[in-house]
Amino acid sequence: MKTRIIARHQQIVRVDRERREPLRSQTEERLLRSLFAALKHLDALVLSDYDKGLITDSLAERVLSACHQFRVPVFVGPKKSRLYSYRGARAIVCNAGEAGSFVTALSRTKNR
């Protein structure tokens, strides 16, 4: 929930209250059904992961798989903790610091 404090028609501050918890399975299935129904109308899909609990490894895998079936390219703004969930994405968009972290993580995995 977001609460905006406004004075003289200008936002002064915003207070965010959030819960980080996985979606209920029924909610996730409804979300996936809606997305899958829309895929035939999409030119591309952007997944921006804010690490709030919506995008799980399972959800990412199912979305990417469906997008591949419909030939819809996927562009991802990932979180470090979920990098491997987005294998098969057309592109991963990140800043220089994030890219360095990803390369380091990939190097560690390869050297094991």
CATH of the domain at 45: 3.40.50
In-domain check, residue 17? no
Q: How many domains does the chain have?
A: 1
In-domain check, residue 47? yes
In-domain check, residue 1? no
Q: What is the pLDDT of residue 51?
A: 75
pTM beyond 0.75: the answer is: no
CA 51 vs. chain centroid, Å, equals 7
Residue type, 17: R
In-domain check, residue 34? yes
Question: Domain containing 89: what range?
Answer: 23-110
- Report the share of the chain in percent with pLDDT over 90: 44
In-domain check, residue 88? yes
In-domain check, residue 11? no
Q: What is the pLDDT of residue 110?
A: 65
Helices (H), 1-112: 25-38, 57-69, 96-110
In-domain check, residue 67? yes
